[in-house]
Amino acid sequence: MRIALAQLDYHIGNFAENTGSIVLAIENARQSGAELVVFSELSVCGYPPLDLLERKDFIQQCIDEIHKIARVCDSIGVIIGGPSFNNASEGKMLFNSAYFLYGGEIKQIINKSLLPTYDIFDEYRYFEPNRVFTLLPFKNKKIALTICEDLWDDQPVENEFARSRLYTRHPLEELCKLDPDLVINIAASPFSHTRMDLKKGIFIDKAKKHNLPVIYVNQVGAQTQLIFEGGSMAIDCKGRIIAQLDFFSPEIKIVDTDELDGSHKKDISKPKDRIGMVHDALVTGIKGYFRKTNFSKAVLGLSGGIDSAITLVLAARALGKDNVHAILMPSGFSSGHSVSDSVELAKNLGISYDIIKIEDLFQLFNQSLSPLFEGCAFDITEENLQSRIRCVLLMAFSNKFGHILLNTSNKSEAAVGYGTLYGDMSGGLSVLGDVYKTDVFLLAKYINAKTDVIPRNILLKPPSAELRPDQKDSDSLPEYTVLDRVLEEYIEHQKTNEEIVAMGFEKSLVSRIIRLVNTNEYKRYQTPPILRISSKAFGGGRRLPLVAKY
Protein backbone atom coordinates (compact mmCIF):
# COMPACT_ATOMS: atom_id res chain seq x y z
CA MET A 1 0.00 0.00 0.00
CA ARG A 2 1.27 3.45 -0.93
CA ILE A 3 0.86 5.83 2.01
CA ALA A 4 1.35 9.60 1.80
CA LEU A 5 2.74 11.29 4.92
CA ALA A 6 1.25 14.79 4.84
CA GLN A 7 3.29 17.10 7.08
CA LEU A 8 1.53 20.48 7.03
CA ASP A 9 1.39 23.78 8.91
CA TYR A 10 -2.03 24.53 10.43
CA HIS A 11 -3.57 27.68 11.88
CA ILE A 12 -5.78 27.20 14.94
CA GLY A 13 -9.40 27.92 14.09
CA ASN A 14 -8.63 28.96 10.51
CA PHE A 15 -10.89 26.32 9.00
CA ALA A 16 -10.85 27.71 5.48
CA GLU A 17 -7.05 27.66 5.31
CA ASN A 18 -6.67 24.30 7.05
CA THR A 19 -9.29 22.54 4.96
CA GLY A 20 -7.93 24.08 1.78
CA SER A 21 -4.41 22.81 2.57
CA ILE A 22 -5.72 19.36 3.47
CA VAL A 23 -7.83 18.99 0.34
CA LEU A 24 -4.92 20.15 -1.85
CA ALA A 25 -2.61 17.61 -0.18
CA ILE A 26 -5.16 14.83 -0.76
CA GLU A 27 -5.37 15.70 -4.45
CA ASN A 28 -1.57 15.84 -4.81
CA ALA A 29 -1.26 12.47 -3.05
CA ARG A 30 -3.93 10.96 -5.28
CA GLN A 31 -2.16 12.13 -8.42
CA SER A 32 1.08 10.59 -7.09
CA GLY A 33 -0.58 7.20 -6.71
CA ALA A 34 -1.14 7.17 -2.95
CA GLU A 35 -3.90 4.94 -1.58
CA LEU A 36 -3.91 6.43 1.93
CA VAL A 37 -3.03 9.94 3.17
CA VAL A 38 -2.13 10.53 6.81
CA PHE A 39 -2.40 13.95 8.49
CA SER A 40 -1.44 14.96 12.04
CA GLU A 41 -3.28 15.19 15.36
CA LEU A 42 -6.19 17.69 15.53
CA SER A 43 -5.14 18.89 12.10
CA VAL A 44 -8.59 20.02 11.07
CA CYS A 45 -8.61 22.73 13.74
CA GLY A 46 -4.91 23.13 14.59
CA TYR A 47 -3.12 22.14 17.78
CA PRO A 48 -3.51 23.12 20.59
CA PRO A 49 -6.95 24.78 20.44
CA LEU A 50 -7.09 25.07 24.27
CA ASP A 51 -10.41 26.40 25.62
CA LEU A 52 -11.85 26.75 22.14
CA LEU A 53 -12.61 23.08 22.74
CA GLU A 54 -15.19 24.17 25.31
CA ARG A 55 -17.27 25.85 22.60
CA LYS A 56 -19.80 23.57 20.94
CA ASP A 57 -19.92 25.76 17.85
CA PHE A 58 -16.16 25.30 17.43
CA ILE A 59 -16.46 21.52 17.74
CA GLN A 60 -19.38 21.42 15.35
CA GLN A 61 -17.43 23.37 12.77
CA CYS A 62 -14.55 20.90 13.13
CA ILE A 63 -16.92 18.05 12.39
CA ASP A 64 -18.54 19.93 9.49
CA GLU A 65 -15.10 20.44 7.95
CA ILE A 66 -14.31 16.74 8.32
CA HIS A 67 -17.50 15.87 6.42
CA LYS A 68 -16.48 18.40 3.77
CA ILE A 69 -13.06 16.75 3.45
CA ALA A 70 -14.65 13.29 3.35
CA ARG A 71 -16.51 14.22 0.18
CA VAL A 72 -13.22 14.39 -1.76
CA CYS A 73 -12.10 11.00 -0.41
CA ASP A 74 -14.09 8.84 -2.80
CA SER A 75 -11.23 6.65 -4.05
CA ILE A 76 -8.49 7.39 -1.52
CA GLY A 77 -8.32 6.75 2.21
CA VAL A 78 -7.56 9.62 4.59
CA ILE A 79 -6.61 9.65 8.28
CA ILE A 80 -7.12 13.05 9.85
CA GLY A 81 -7.14 14.38 13.41
CA GLY A 82 -10.05 16.22 14.99
CA PRO A 83 -12.25 16.31 18.09
CA SER A 84 -15.35 14.15 18.31
CA PHE A 85 -18.29 14.20 20.70
CA ASN A 86 -18.49 11.67 23.52
CA ASN A 87 -22.06 10.39 23.33
CA ALA A 88 -21.90 8.55 26.64
CA SER A 89 -23.82 9.97 29.60
CA GLU A 90 -20.64 10.23 31.68
CA GLY A 91 -17.15 11.59 31.17
CA LYS A 92 -15.74 14.56 29.31
CA MET A 93 -17.66 15.98 26.38
CA LEU A 94 -15.01 15.16 23.79
CA PHE A 95 -12.54 12.63 22.48
CA ASN A 96 -9.28 13.51 20.76
CA SER A 97 -9.83 11.44 17.63
CA ALA A 98 -8.40 10.12 14.40
CA TYR A 99 -11.02 10.00 11.64
CA PHE A 100 -10.73 7.50 8.79
CA LEU A 101 -12.38 8.84 5.65
CA TYR A 102 -13.09 6.75 2.54
CA GLY A 103 -15.77 6.43 -0.10
CA GLY A 104 -16.95 9.97 0.58
CA GLU A 105 -17.78 9.42 4.25
CA ILE A 106 -16.46 8.87 7.76
CA LYS A 107 -15.81 5.13 8.00
CA GLN A 108 -14.25 4.82 11.45
CA ILE A 109 -13.19 6.94 14.43
CA ILE A 110 -10.30 5.95 16.71
CA ASN A 111 -9.89 7.84 20.00
CA LYS A 112 -6.74 8.79 21.90
CA SER A 113 -6.06 6.74 25.02
CA LEU A 114 -3.26 8.55 26.83
CA LEU A 115 -3.96 12.21 27.58
CA PRO A 116 -0.83 14.08 28.70
CA THR A 117 -1.21 16.47 31.62
CA TYR A 118 2.38 17.61 32.13
CA ASP A 119 4.50 20.53 30.94
CA ILE A 120 2.49 22.48 28.32
CA PHE A 121 -0.08 19.67 27.91
CA ASP A 122 -3.47 19.65 29.63
CA GLU A 123 -5.51 17.30 27.47
CA TYR A 124 -7.50 15.68 30.26
CA ARG A 125 -9.04 19.12 30.83
CA TYR A 126 -10.97 18.57 27.59
CA PHE A 127 -10.92 14.94 26.51
CA GLU A 128 -12.15 11.58 27.72
CA PRO A 129 -9.57 8.76 27.33
CA ASN A 130 -10.27 5.85 25.03
CA ARG A 131 -10.72 2.47 26.72
CA VAL A 132 -11.75 0.28 23.77
CA PHE A 133 -9.07 -0.90 21.33
CA THR A 134 -9.79 -1.74 17.70
CA LEU A 135 -7.78 -1.92 14.50
CA LEU A 136 -8.40 -0.04 11.28
CA PRO A 137 -8.72 -2.45 8.31
CA PHE A 138 -7.81 -1.00 4.90
CA LYS A 139 -6.43 -2.48 1.66
CA ASN A 140 -5.71 -5.88 3.21
CA LYS A 141 -3.78 -4.23 6.05
CA LYS A 142 -4.74 -4.17 9.71
CA ILE A 143 -3.60 -0.80 11.05
CA ALA A 144 -2.94 -0.01 14.71
CA LEU A 145 -3.91 3.67 14.60
CA THR A 146 -2.56 5.67 17.55
CA ILE A 147 -2.47 9.33 18.49
CA CYS A 148 0.76 10.96 19.71
CA GLU A 149 1.07 10.13 23.45
CA ASP A 150 -0.33 6.64 22.84
CA LEU A 151 3.22 5.58 21.86
CA TRP A 152 4.93 7.58 24.66
CA ASP A 153 3.88 5.29 27.51
CA ASP A 154 7.49 4.19 28.13
CA GLN A 155 9.05 7.65 28.03
CA PRO A 156 11.63 8.41 30.72
CA VAL A 157 10.75 11.29 33.01
CA GLU A 158 13.14 13.70 34.72
CA ASN A 159 11.32 14.06 38.04
CA GLU A 160 12.69 11.69 40.71
CA PHE A 161 9.19 11.11 42.11
CA ALA A 162 7.97 9.65 38.82
CA ARG A 163 7.21 5.95 38.40
CA SER A 164 9.21 3.77 36.07
CA ARG A 165 6.30 3.98 33.63
CA LEU A 166 4.21 7.12 33.43
CA TYR A 167 0.98 5.34 32.48
CA THR A 168 -0.88 2.26 33.67
CA ARG A 169 -2.41 1.60 30.25
CA HIS A 170 -0.30 0.75 27.20
CA PRO A 171 -2.26 1.22 23.96
CA LEU A 172 0.11 -0.48 21.53
CA GLU A 173 0.39 -3.54 23.76
CA GLU A 174 -3.43 -3.76 23.70
CA LEU A 175 -3.55 -3.27 19.93
CA CYS A 176 -0.85 -5.88 19.33
CA LYS A 177 -3.13 -8.49 20.85
CA LEU A 178 -5.26 -7.98 17.71
CA ASP A 179 -2.34 -8.83 15.38
CA PRO A 180 -1.85 -5.60 13.38
CA ASP A 181 0.34 -5.32 10.29
CA LEU A 182 1.33 -1.70 10.71
CA VAL A 183 1.37 1.10 13.31
CA ILE A 184 0.39 4.66 12.36
CA ASN A 185 0.88 7.47 14.86
CA ILE A 186 -0.56 10.92 14.16
CA ALA A 187 0.95 13.59 16.37
CA ALA A 188 1.27 17.23 17.33
CA SER A 189 4.62 16.92 19.06
CA PRO A 190 6.34 20.24 19.89
CA PHE A 191 10.02 20.79 19.28
CA SER A 192 12.51 20.44 22.12
CA HIS A 193 16.23 20.46 21.37
CA THR A 194 16.78 18.37 24.50
CA ARG A 195 14.47 15.55 23.41
CA MET A 196 15.08 14.96 19.70
CA ASP A 197 16.97 11.71 20.23
CA LEU A 198 14.37 10.58 22.76
CA LYS A 199 11.54 11.21 20.32
CA LYS A 200 13.21 9.25 17.52
CA GLY A 201 14.14 6.48 19.93
CA ILE A 202 10.55 5.98 21.05
CA PHE A 203 9.37 5.11 17.55
CA ILE A 204 12.41 2.98 16.77
CA ASP A 205 12.00 1.05 20.02
CA LYS A 206 8.30 0.42 19.37
CA ALA A 207 9.06 -0.94 15.89
CA LYS A 208 11.76 -3.27 17.22
CA LYS A 209 9.81 -4.41 20.28
CA HIS A 210 6.70 -5.39 18.34
CA ASN A 211 8.39 -6.24 15.03
CA LEU A 212 6.03 -3.82 13.27
CA PRO A 213 6.56 -0.92 10.88
CA VAL A 214 5.75 2.48 12.41
CA ILE A 215 4.61 5.52 10.44
CA TYR A 216 4.74 8.81 12.36
CA VAL A 217 3.20 12.04 11.04
CA ASN A 218 3.86 15.30 12.89
CA GLN A 219 2.90 18.87 12.02
CA VAL A 220 5.21 21.81 11.32
CA GLY A 221 5.01 25.52 12.01
CA ALA A 222 4.35 27.46 15.19
CA GLN A 223 1.31 28.09 17.36
CA THR A 224 2.03 31.07 19.66
CA GLN A 225 4.95 29.81 21.79
CA LEU A 226 4.93 26.20 20.56
CA ILE A 227 7.09 25.21 17.60
CA PHE A 228 6.65 21.95 15.66
CA GLU A 229 9.62 20.57 13.73
CA GLY A 230 7.82 17.96 11.65
CA GLY A 231 10.42 15.26 11.09
CA SER A 232 7.70 12.75 10.17
CA MET A 233 9.10 9.32 9.34
CA ALA A 234 8.52 5.74 8.31
CA ILE A 235 10.36 3.05 10.27
CA ASP A 236 10.60 -0.58 9.19
CA CYS A 237 9.94 -3.52 11.48
CA LYS A 238 13.67 -3.73 12.33
CA GLY A 239 13.76 -0.15 13.59
CA ARG A 240 15.45 1.37 10.54
CA ILE A 241 14.28 4.79 9.31
CA ILE A 242 13.28 4.22 5.70
CA ALA A 243 11.86 7.69 5.03
CA GLN A 244 12.08 10.97 6.90
CA LEU A 245 10.53 14.31 6.03
CA ASP A 246 12.29 17.63 6.38
CA PHE A 247 12.45 19.58 9.61
CA PHE A 248 10.47 22.84 9.87
CA SER A 249 9.08 22.57 6.35
CA PRO A 250 5.72 21.39 4.96
CA GLU A 251 6.18 18.29 2.84
CA ILE A 252 4.34 15.28 1.45
CA LYS A 253 6.21 12.03 0.97
CA ILE A 254 4.89 8.68 -0.25
CA VAL A 255 6.05 5.44 1.32
CA ASP A 256 5.27 1.94 0.07
CA THR A 257 4.58 -0.55 2.87
CA ASP A 258 6.59 -3.14 0.92
CA GLU A 259 9.68 -1.10 1.89
CA LEU A 260 8.89 -1.53 5.59
CA ASP A 261 9.15 -5.33 5.84
CA GLY A 262 12.73 -5.25 7.13
CA SER A 263 14.35 -6.54 3.93
CA HIS A 264 15.79 -3.13 2.95
CA LYS A 265 18.98 -2.46 4.88
CA LYS A 266 19.19 1.30 4.33
CA ASP A 267 18.61 3.79 7.15
CA ILE A 268 18.24 7.39 5.98
CA SER A 269 17.93 9.04 9.38
CA LYS A 270 18.67 12.77 9.13
CA PRO A 271 20.89 13.86 12.02
CA LYS A 272 21.13 17.61 12.49
CA ASP A 273 23.28 19.87 14.62
CA ARG A 274 21.50 20.80 17.86
CA ILE A 275 22.21 24.51 17.58
CA GLY A 276 21.22 24.45 13.92
CA MET A 277 17.88 22.98 14.97
CA VAL A 278 17.45 25.69 17.62
CA HIS A 279 18.21 28.36 15.01
CA ASP A 280 15.67 26.94 12.56
CA ALA A 281 13.08 26.52 15.32
CA LEU A 282 13.36 30.16 16.40
CA VAL A 283 13.08 31.39 12.80
CA THR A 284 10.01 29.18 12.39
CA GLY A 285 8.55 30.49 15.65
CA ILE A 286 8.93 34.14 14.66
CA LYS A 287 7.57 33.53 11.17
CA GLY A 288 4.55 31.59 12.45
CA TYR A 289 3.68 34.08 15.20
CA PHE A 290 3.69 37.03 12.82
CA ARG A 291 1.81 35.32 10.01
CA LYS A 292 -0.88 33.92 12.27
CA THR A 293 -1.45 37.22 14.09
CA ASN A 294 -1.61 39.12 10.78
CA PHE A 295 1.47 41.21 11.51
CA SER A 296 4.43 41.52 9.17
CA LYS A 297 6.86 43.99 10.77
CA ALA A 298 9.02 43.92 13.88
CA VAL A 299 10.99 46.47 15.88
CA LEU A 300 13.59 45.87 18.56
CA GLY A 301 16.12 47.76 20.62
CA LEU A 302 19.65 47.10 19.40
CA SER A 303 22.02 47.51 22.32
CA GLY A 304 25.36 46.39 20.96
CA GLY A 305 25.06 43.16 22.95
CA ILE A 306 24.88 39.61 21.70
CA ASP A 307 21.22 38.94 22.63
CA SER A 308 19.74 41.78 20.60
CA ALA A 309 22.18 41.05 17.77
CA ILE A 310 21.01 37.44 17.45
CA THR A 311 17.36 38.45 17.78
CA LEU A 312 17.84 40.90 14.91
CA VAL A 313 19.44 38.24 12.70
CA LEU A 314 16.69 35.71 13.42
CA ALA A 315 13.95 38.29 12.79
CA ALA A 316 15.50 39.31 9.49
CA ARG A 317 15.69 35.69 8.38
CA ALA A 318 12.10 35.03 9.44
CA LEU A 319 10.42 38.20 8.17
CA GLY A 320 12.79 39.62 5.56
CA LYS A 321 15.16 42.54 6.06
CA ASP A 322 12.64 45.12 4.88
CA ASN A 323 10.22 44.13 7.65
CA VAL A 324 12.56 44.64 10.60
CA HIS A 325 13.60 47.95 12.15
CA ALA A 326 16.21 48.53 14.87
CA ILE A 327 16.39 51.44 17.29
CA LEU A 328 19.69 52.24 19.00
CA MET A 329 19.22 54.12 22.28
CA PRO A 330 22.59 54.89 23.85
CA SER A 331 22.82 56.47 27.28
CA GLY A 332 25.67 58.22 29.03
CA PHE A 333 26.89 54.79 30.17
CA SER A 334 26.93 53.19 26.72
CA SER A 335 30.33 52.45 25.23
CA GLY A 336 31.23 53.86 21.85
CA HIS A 337 31.38 50.34 20.47
CA SER A 338 27.73 49.76 21.44
CA VAL A 339 26.62 52.17 18.73
CA SER A 340 29.26 51.45 16.10
CA ASP A 341 28.89 47.67 16.44
CA SER A 342 25.10 47.94 16.19
CA VAL A 343 25.32 50.12 13.10
CA GLU A 344 27.73 47.66 11.49
CA LEU A 345 25.35 44.75 12.21
CA ALA A 346 22.34 46.62 10.80
CA LYS A 347 24.30 47.43 7.64
CA ASN A 348 25.48 43.83 7.32
CA LEU A 349 21.83 42.73 7.33
CA GLY A 350 20.47 45.61 5.26
CA ILE A 351 18.20 46.59 8.17
CA SER A 352 16.85 50.10 8.65
CA TYR A 353 17.70 51.74 11.96
CA ASP A 354 17.43 54.93 13.98
CA ILE A 355 19.53 56.32 16.81
CA ILE A 356 17.78 58.06 19.71
CA LYS A 357 20.02 59.21 22.53
CA ILE A 358 18.27 58.88 25.88
CA GLU A 359 20.64 60.89 28.11
CA ASP A 360 18.54 64.06 27.96
CA LEU A 361 15.37 62.12 28.75
CA PHE A 362 17.14 60.36 31.60
CA GLN A 363 18.20 63.70 33.12
CA LEU A 364 14.67 65.10 32.77
CA PHE A 365 13.29 62.12 34.69
CA ASN A 366 15.97 62.57 37.34
CA GLN A 367 15.08 66.24 37.70
CA SER A 368 11.38 65.44 38.05
CA LEU A 369 12.14 62.78 40.67
CA SER A 370 14.80 64.72 42.56
CA PRO A 371 12.39 66.14 45.19
CA LEU A 372 11.30 62.57 46.00
CA PHE A 373 14.79 61.05 45.85
CA GLU A 374 16.69 63.84 47.63
CA GLY A 375 19.58 62.38 49.59
CA CYS A 376 19.30 58.96 47.89
CA ALA A 377 22.31 57.47 46.13
CA PHE A 378 22.32 56.23 42.52
CA ASP A 379 21.15 52.61 42.59
CA ILE A 380 19.10 50.08 40.66
CA THR A 381 16.26 52.61 40.45
CA GLU A 382 18.22 54.78 38.04
CA GLU A 383 19.45 51.70 36.17
CA ASN A 384 15.87 50.53 35.62
CA LEU A 385 14.77 54.02 34.66
CA GLN A 386 17.02 53.94 31.60
CA SER A 387 15.59 50.58 30.56
CA ARG A 388 12.03 51.87 30.95
CA ILE A 389 12.75 55.00 28.93
CA ARG A 390 13.92 52.75 26.10
CA CYS A 391 10.73 50.70 26.37
CA VAL A 392 8.57 53.84 26.08
CA LEU A 393 10.37 54.82 22.88
CA LEU A 394 10.14 51.36 21.39
CA MET A 395 6.45 51.03 22.19
CA ALA A 396 5.77 54.48 20.72
CA PHE A 397 7.34 53.30 17.46
CA SER A 398 5.39 50.04 17.71
CA ASN A 399 2.08 51.86 18.14
CA LYS A 400 2.72 54.45 15.46
CA PHE A 401 3.83 52.07 12.72
CA GLY A 402 2.19 48.75 13.63
CA HIS A 403 5.34 46.78 14.46
CA ILE A 404 5.51 44.01 17.07
CA LEU A 405 8.21 44.73 19.64
CA LEU A 406 10.54 41.73 19.95
CA ASN A 407 11.87 40.98 23.42
CA THR A 408 15.57 40.08 23.46
CA SER A 409 16.08 38.69 27.00
CA ASN A 410 17.63 35.24 27.31
CA LYS A 411 16.62 32.37 29.62
CA SER A 412 19.54 32.84 32.02
CA GLU A 413 18.50 36.44 32.68
CA ALA A 414 14.82 35.58 32.95
CA ALA A 415 15.58 32.76 35.38
CA VAL A 416 17.34 34.96 37.93
CA GLY A 417 15.35 38.15 37.34
CA TYR A 418 18.21 40.02 35.67
CA GLY A 419 15.91 42.31 33.73
CA THR A 420 13.57 45.27 34.19
CA LEU A 421 9.81 44.89 34.27
CA TYR A 422 8.20 47.36 31.83
CA GLY A 423 11.69 47.88 30.46
CA ASP A 424 13.87 45.33 28.66
CA MET A 425 11.44 42.54 29.65
CA SER A 426 8.67 44.10 27.53
CA GLY A 427 7.57 43.03 24.08
CA GLY A 428 5.00 41.14 22.06
CA LEU A 429 7.14 38.01 21.62
CA SER A 430 10.20 36.74 23.47
CA VAL A 431 12.60 35.21 20.98
CA LEU A 432 15.43 34.02 23.25
CA GLY A 433 13.53 33.54 26.51
CA ASP A 434 14.08 29.76 26.37
CA VAL A 435 17.73 29.95 25.28
CA TYR A 436 20.43 29.91 27.96
CA LYS A 437 23.26 32.41 27.53
CA THR A 438 25.80 29.68 26.80
CA ASP A 439 23.61 28.58 23.87
CA VAL A 440 23.24 32.22 22.80
CA PHE A 441 27.01 32.26 22.21
CA LEU A 442 26.76 28.99 20.27
CA LEU A 443 23.97 30.49 18.15
CA ALA A 444 26.24 33.42 17.32
CA LYS A 445 28.99 31.01 16.30
CA TYR A 446 26.49 29.12 14.10
CA ILE A 447 25.29 32.34 12.46
CA ASN A 448 28.87 33.46 11.80
CA ALA A 449 30.05 30.06 10.55
CA LYS A 450 30.51 31.21 6.94
CA THR A 451 30.89 34.96 7.30
CA ASP A 452 30.92 37.51 10.11
CA VAL A 453 27.28 38.56 10.05
CA ILE A 454 27.54 39.62 13.70
CA PRO A 455 30.56 41.91 14.27
CA ARG A 456 33.29 40.12 16.20
CA ASN A 457 33.47 42.83 18.84
CA ILE A 458 29.90 42.01 19.90
CA LEU A 459 30.97 38.42 20.50
CA LEU A 460 34.20 39.22 22.30
CA LYS A 461 33.24 41.95 24.77
CA PRO A 462 32.01 40.92 28.26
CA PRO A 463 28.18 40.91 28.53
CA SER A 464 26.87 44.12 30.12
CA ALA A 465 23.58 45.94 30.59
CA GLU A 466 25.54 49.26 30.45
CA LEU A 467 23.28 50.94 32.99
CA ARG A 468 26.07 52.19 35.28
CA PRO A 469 29.80 52.92 34.81
CA ASP A 470 31.93 49.90 33.80
CA GLN A 471 29.07 47.48 34.49
CA LYS A 472 29.42 43.78 33.61
CA ASP A 473 26.92 40.94 34.03
CA SER A 474 29.54 39.11 36.07
CA ASP A 475 29.32 41.86 38.72
CA SER A 476 25.86 40.58 39.64
CA LEU A 477 25.81 37.02 38.32
CA PRO A 478 28.09 33.97 38.32
CA GLU A 479 29.86 33.22 35.06
CA TYR A 480 27.27 31.94 32.59
CA THR A 481 29.08 28.63 32.13
CA VAL A 482 28.42 27.92 35.81
CA LEU A 483 25.06 29.68 36.13
CA ASP A 484 23.50 27.84 33.21
CA ARG A 485 24.53 24.41 34.46
CA VAL A 486 22.92 25.07 37.85
CA LEU A 487 19.80 26.54 36.24
CA GLU A 488 19.38 23.55 33.93
CA GLU A 489 19.66 21.08 36.80
CA TYR A 490 17.14 23.02 38.88
CA ILE A 491 14.63 24.01 36.16
CA GLU A 492 14.78 21.22 33.59
CA HIS A 493 15.81 18.30 35.80
CA GLN A 494 14.01 19.35 39.03
CA LYS A 495 17.12 18.72 41.14
CA THR A 496 17.19 19.85 44.78
CA ASN A 497 19.81 22.15 46.31
CA GLU A 498 21.55 19.19 47.91
CA GLU A 499 21.66 17.18 44.70
CA ILE A 500 23.16 20.09 42.75
CA VAL A 501 25.77 20.71 45.45
CA ALA A 502 26.65 17.01 45.32
CA MET A 503 27.48 17.49 41.64
CA GLY A 504 30.40 19.70 42.67
CA PHE A 505 28.92 23.19 42.89
CA GLU A 506 29.55 25.53 45.81
CA LYS A 507 26.70 25.39 48.35
CA SER A 508 26.34 29.15 48.84
CA LEU A 509 26.35 29.71 45.08
CA VAL A 510 23.63 27.11 44.48
CA SER A 511 21.48 28.54 47.29
CA ARG A 512 21.82 32.05 45.87
CA ILE A 513 20.93 31.01 42.33
CA ILE A 514 17.90 29.01 43.43
CA ARG A 515 16.73 31.86 45.66
CA LEU A 516 16.93 34.23 42.67
CA VAL A 517 14.92 31.81 40.53
CA ASN A 518 12.22 31.41 43.17
CA THR A 519 11.87 35.08 44.11
CA ASN A 520 11.59 36.33 40.53
CA GLU A 521 8.58 34.28 39.46
CA TYR A 522 6.49 37.49 39.58
CA LYS A 523 8.63 38.99 36.83
CA ARG A 524 8.34 35.99 34.54
CA TYR A 525 4.58 35.96 35.07
CA GLN A 526 4.40 39.30 33.22
CA THR A 527 6.68 38.52 30.29
CA PRO A 528 5.50 38.10 26.68
CA PRO A 529 4.98 34.65 25.11
CA ILE A 530 8.31 32.82 24.98
CA LEU A 531 9.23 30.68 21.98
CA ARG A 532 9.64 27.20 23.47
CA ILE A 533 12.68 25.23 22.33
CA SER A 534 13.37 23.10 25.43
CA SER A 535 11.49 20.58 27.55
CA LYS A 536 10.83 23.16 30.29
CA ALA A 537 10.28 26.72 29.12
CA PHE A 538 9.00 29.52 31.29
CA GLY A 539 5.29 30.09 30.75
CA GLY A 540 2.42 27.62 30.58
CA GLY A 541 4.70 24.61 30.94
CA ARG A 542 6.08 25.70 34.32
CA ARG A 543 3.34 26.71 36.73
CA LEU A 544 4.38 28.01 40.13
CA PRO A 545 2.50 30.16 42.66
CA LEU A 546 3.62 33.78 42.86
CA VAL A 547 3.19 34.12 46.62
CA ALA A 548 4.75 30.82 47.74
CA LYS A 549 7.51 30.82 50.33
CA TYR A 550 9.52 27.71 49.55
**Is 90 or 466 the better-scoring residue by pLDDT?**
90
Residue 466, H or E segment: none
Flag whether pLDDT at 43 surpasses 80: yes
| pLDDT exceeds cutoff 90 at 70 | yes
pLDDT score of 380 more than 80 = yes
CB atoms within 10 A of CB 189: 24
User: 482-501, pLDDT tens digit by residue?
Assistant: 999 999 999 999 999 999 99
pLDDT, residue 424, reads 94
d(CA 269, CA 231): 10
Residue 317, classed as helix, strand or coil, is: helix
Q: What is the pLDDT of residue 426?
A: 96
Check if 148 is active-site: yes
Q: Of the candidates 16, 17, 529, 434, which has an alpha carbon nearest to the alpha carbon of residue 223?
A: 529
Residue 141 appears among annotated catalytic residues: no
Q: Where are the alpha helices (DSSP H) in 13-82?
A: 15-31, 56-70
Confidence (pLDDT) at 394: 98
Confidence of residue 18 (pLDDT cuts 50, 70, 90): very high
CB 28 within 8 A of CB 251: no
For residues 362 and 330, the answer to whether their CB atoms sit within 8 Å is no
What's the pLDDT tens digit per position in 102-112? 999 999 999 99
How long is the chain? 550
Q: Out of 148, 176, 237, 391, which one is annotated catalytic?
A: 148
Q: Which residues contact 138 (CB under 8 A, 6 or more apart)?
A: 1, 36, 77, 100, 102
Helix axes 380-401, 359-373, angle to 10 degrees: 130
Dist. CA 179–CA 66, nearest whole Å? 29
User: In the prediction, which pLDDT does 266 show?
Assistant: 75
* Average pLDDT score over residue span 439-461: 94
Mapped onto helix, strand or coil, the DSSP state of residue 59 is helix
Selecting among 41, 123, 149, 229, the annotated active-site residue is 41
For residue 255, name the pLDDT band (cuts at 50, 70, 90). Answer: very high
Q: 131, 44, 133, 43: which is closest to 92 by C-alpha?
A: 131
DSSP reduced 3-state for 289: helix
Q: What is the pLDDT of residues 319-371, one digit of tens each?
A: 999 999 999 999 877 666 789 999 999 999 999 999 999 999 999 999 999 99
pLDDT at 103: 96
pLDDT at 270: 67
For 237, phi then psi, to 5°, come to -70, -10
pLDDT band at 157 (very low <50, low <70, confident <90, very high): low
| Model confidence at 161: pLDDT above 60 | no
The answer to whether 341 and 460 have CB atoms below 8 angstroms apart is no
- Three-state secondary-structure class, residue 438: helix
pLDDT at residue 476, rounded to an integer: 72
Tell me the C-alpha distance between 90 and 67, whole Å. 26
Letter for the amino acid at 507? K
How does residue 442 score in pLDDT terms, banded at 50, 70 and 90? very high
What pLDDT shows up at residue 416? 95
Most confident of 274-288, 375-389, 533-547: 274-288
pTM metric for this prediction: 0.94
SS3 83: strand
β-pairing, 2-7 vs 214-217, is unpaired
Of 425, 427, 362, the residue nearest 398 (C-alpha): 427
> Residue 149: how many CA atoms within 13 Å on its side-chain side?
20
Q: How far apart are the first and last CA of the chain?
A: 58
Q: Which amino acid, 125? A: R
H or E element, residue 164: none
| Closest-CA residue to 77 (of 39, 43, 40) | 39
Residue 537: name the closest of 423, 347, 410 by CA: 410
Diameter of the chain measured on Cα atoms: 86
Mean pLDDT calculated for residue range 297-309: 96
Read off the pLDDT of residues 190-202 as tens digits, 9 standing for 90 and up: 999 988 998 999 9
pLDDT confidence of residue 545? 81
Say which range, 150-159, 359-368, 537-546, has the weakest mean pLDDT.
150-159
**Spatial CA neighbour of 482 closest among 473, 522, 391, 232:** 473
Least confident segment among 170-179, 236-245, 328-337, 451-460: 328-337
Place 473 in a pLDDT band, splitting at 50, 70 and 90: low
- Average model confidence (pLDDT) across the chain: 93
CA distance 311 to 303: 11
Within 13 Å of residue 282, how many CA atoms lie on the same side as its CB? 31
| Mean pLDDT calculated for residue range 113-118 | 93
Compute the distance between CA of residue 303 and CA of residue 471 in angstroms, rounded to an integer.
Answer: 14
Whole-number Å distance between alpha carbons of 67 and 101: 9
Instruction: Provide Rg for the chain, Cα atoms.
Output: 26
At 232, the amino acid letter reads: S
**Which entry of 35, 62, 65, 112 is annotated as an active-site residue?**
112
Handedness of CA 153, 154, 155, 158 (dihedral sign): positive
CA distance 282 to 435: 10
Assign 135 a pLDDT band (cuts: 50, 70, 90).
very high
Residue from 116, 197, 407 nearest 282 by CA? 407
Q: Nearest-CA neighbor of 219 among 22, 383, 29?
A: 22
* 46 touches 191 (CB < 8 A): no
**Residue 531 — very low, low, confident or very high, per pLDDT cuts 50/70/90?**
very high
CA distance 484 to 498: 17
- Residues 6 or more apart whose Cβ sits within 8 Å of residue 250: 7, 8, 9, 220, 221, 230
Q: Give mean pLDDT, residues 255-271.
A: 82
In the chain, the domains with their CATH numbers are 2-272 (3.60.110.10), 287-473 (3.40.50.620)
Contacts of 178 (CB under 8 A, 6+ apart): 133, 134, 135, 142, 144
For 415-425, the pLDDT digits (tens) are: 999 999 999 99
